[in-house]
Structure 1
Amino acid sequence: MSNTPHTLGEEFPGQMDKIHALKISDSNFAQLLADYDGVNDEIHLAETNVQPISQDHETALRKRRLAIKDQIAQALTPIA
């Protein structure tokens, strides 16, 4: 298990300007970012044993983070 936070800059390299623009213009996207950061922080605290949680809970959080990341990626993908 990695205990390195999955920052949005690492997950979406080169897209931070677009992320920032969407955050300002779209409240739903801004909420996605807040949700991602919250879940990501919980996972990081669990991984570093600052706030240990059960393996099942950690797995559920990881799945939620992935689902949110997929929604962010979809919002960043231009419509063809």
Structure 2
Amino acid sequence: MLGESHDLLHEFPDLQDRISALRTSNPEFAQLMDEYDSIDARVRTIEELGTPVADETIEEMKKQRLHLKDRLYAMLRA
């Protein structure tokens, strides 16, 4: 769905406490989460506003977002 929120709290509501704890105690996790949130916001803005952008560009951004989400999830489960 276009413009759908993919923030970590929305994606993993059952891990809310763990996300909060890692965000404050683990600088690497916080940095990755900031990158993830930034890419997610840009993707949503592009989709919602219908900003002209090459398909390859938006797909690459979505791949980056997915890669970051995978890394963050691995850290949450560790």
Q: Once structures 1 and 2 are overlaid, which stretch shifts more, 1-10 or 32-41?
A: 1-10
User: Where does the alignment leave 5 or more consecutive residues of structure 1 unmatched?
Assistant: none
Higher helix fraction: Structure 1 or Structure 2? Answer: 2
Number of aligned residues: 78
Q: Tell me, which stretches of 5 or more residues in structure 2 are unaligned?
A: none
C-alpha deviations, 1:40-79, integer Å up to 9, x for none?
001001111264321110000000000000000100113x
TM-score (normalised: structure 2): 0.90
Deviations, residues 19-58 of structure 1 (Å, cap 9, x unaligned)? 1100111100000110000000010011112643211100
Using the size of structure 1 for normalisation, the TM-score is 0.88
Cα distance in structure 2, aligned partners of 1:76 and 1:58: 27
**Which gives a bigger RCO, structure 1 or 2 (Cα 8 Å, sep 6+)?**
2
Give RMSD over aligned pairs: 1.3
Percent identical residues: 32
